[in-house]
Structure 1
Amino acid sequence: MKILHIDSSIMGDASISRKLSQALVQQLQTKHADAQVDYLDLAAAPIPHLSAEILMGQNVEQSELGEQLVQQYLDADIVVVGAAMYNFGLSSALKAWIDRISVAGRTFKYTEKGPVGLAGDKKAYIVSSRGGVYGENSPFDFQEGLLKTVFGFTGVTDVSIIRAEGVNMGEEAKEKGMTEALAQIQAA
């Protein structure tokens, strides 16, 4: 069993999404004693943003990194993404990871009937933290929807969301959001 654990918050030890994603990975390791965890901290070790040179394979070092990231994604049985919401969306570091794993012929292909995901049968968890309260299907949410779309596009349809909302709306709201998210983690 391989778990790919990705954190993307820029807040370091103060990050809610990091605390929650770590709690989820620990819960998964308890359930799967044989689990191996690959960890990516996209804030501490950022992936260079997509450029024409990278896209066209003109940078050997970046091509090798891209292949490593794709293979890591393909090999994972479970993917845990810690995603804090910034200005209604993802961190740019997480978007850079998405750009590097979305590779035609590797994680998806186009057919006469449209795109088909190639990433295999895996489980994905989006561990989301938000300063405000948005709920599901908010017109202001370009975070969870984008991640669900990317996972679906690459063939991963078993996606669960663990969400802590209101974490910047005072201590009481923060505690409520954390408590609700931790209860979801215990149930995972």
Structure 2
Amino acid sequence: MQILRIDSASTGENSVSRVLTQATVDHFRAAHPETTVIERDLVADPLPHIDVARTGAIRQPPETHDAAMAAVFPEERAVLEEFLASDIVIVGAPMYNFSIPSQLKAWIDRLGVPGVTFTYKDGAPQGLAGGRRVIVASARGGAYEMGGPAEHQETLLRDFFGFIGLPDVTFIRAEKTGFGAEVRDQAIADARERIAQL
């Protein structure tokens, strides 16, 4: 089994989502010691935001690439292949300004590939990336209802993964982490209990 761990919080040792991604990896490693874990830290090693060359490299057939697209194609494709080769994808997703960190968006932008992770059939989108499990470690300073006012973090992730064929995303939430140390600690403890049930 292969696990892909994605971290995107820029708060270092204060990151709640990183605590939860580590706890989730530990949970699965305890049950499956043979598990291979690939870690991608989008803060320590950020992906560039997509530009003309990278968009072309991601979305156009290799035989149509110009020199700039060809130069970045291997690294762009590697991000996608890493995702597709994984059985479980654990995504650390803190809420930043009601949505996700831009580093995480840059990673997501490499997964939506026409003809690879989605297509259109009979006028409707069809996801092609099924067959893996996605677990999102969600950390939020306040309390939000998914899809409610000002909540564009979990909704975005649910909709994107559903679009590419992964509609059953599991969310492990730590909420109200900005309400003080005691509330934060309890939120993490509650999230750890949820992880133990995976």
**TM-score normalised by the chain length of structure 2:** 0.91
Q: Name the structure 2 match of 1:31.
A: 31
Aligned residues: 188
CA offset digits 1:107-144 (Å, max 9, x no partner)? 11122241111112111101000011113332211111
Measure the CA separation in 2 of the matches of 1:36 and 1:59: 31
Please point out which of 116, 119, 136 is paired with 2:146: 136
1:53 aligned partner: 53
What is the distance in 1 between the residues matched to 2:71 and 2:173? 36
How many angstroms apart in 1 are the aligned matches of 2:150 and 2:41?
Answer: 26
Q: Are 1:64 and 2:77 matched, yes or no?
A: no
Please show how residues 152-171 of structure 1 align to structure 2 within 5 Å: 152-171=162-181
Q: Does the 8 Å contact 2:2/2:35 carry over to 1? A: yes
Aligned equivalent of 1:172? 182
1:89 counterpart SS class:
coil
- Match in the other structure for 1:183: 193
Tell whether the 8 Å contact from 1:73 to 1:119 is kept in structure 2 after alignment.
no
Q: Which of 95, 100, 123 lines up with 1:85 in the alignment?
A: 95
Counterpart CA distance in 1 for 2:161 and 2:117 is 10
Matched-pair contact (CA < 8 Å) for 2:146–2:155? no
Deviations 1:65-110 (A, max 9, x none): 1110111111111110001110000000000001011111111112
Q: What is the alpha-carbon distance in structure 2 between the residues aligned to residue 171 and residue 14 of structure 1?
A: 11
- The runs of 4+ residues in structure 1 deviating greater than 2 Å are 57-62, 135-138
Select the residue among 123, 130, 135 that pairs with 2:133.
Answer: 123
Q: RMSD over aligned Cα, in angstroms?
A: 1.2
Find the residue that maps to 1:76 and give its secondary structure: coil
Gaps of 5+ in 1: none
Which blocks of at least 5 consecutive residues in structure 2 are unaligned?
58-67
After TM superposition, give the deviation of residue 186 of structure 1 in Å: 1.1
Return the letter of the residue paired with 2:8.
S
SS at match of 1:145: helix
Q: Which amino acid aligns with 2:119?
A: K
Find out whether 1:9 has 2:9 as its counterpart: yes
TM-score (norm 1): 0.95
Q: 1:7-30, CA deviations, whole angstroms, 9 ceiling, x for partnerless residues?
A: 000111221100111000110111
- Alpha-carbon separation, structure 2, partners of 1:29 and 1:99: 29
- Name the SS of the counterpart of 2:177 in structure 1: coil
**Which amino acid letter does the alignment assign opposite residue 31 of structure 1?**
A
The Cα shift of 1:152 comes to: 0.8
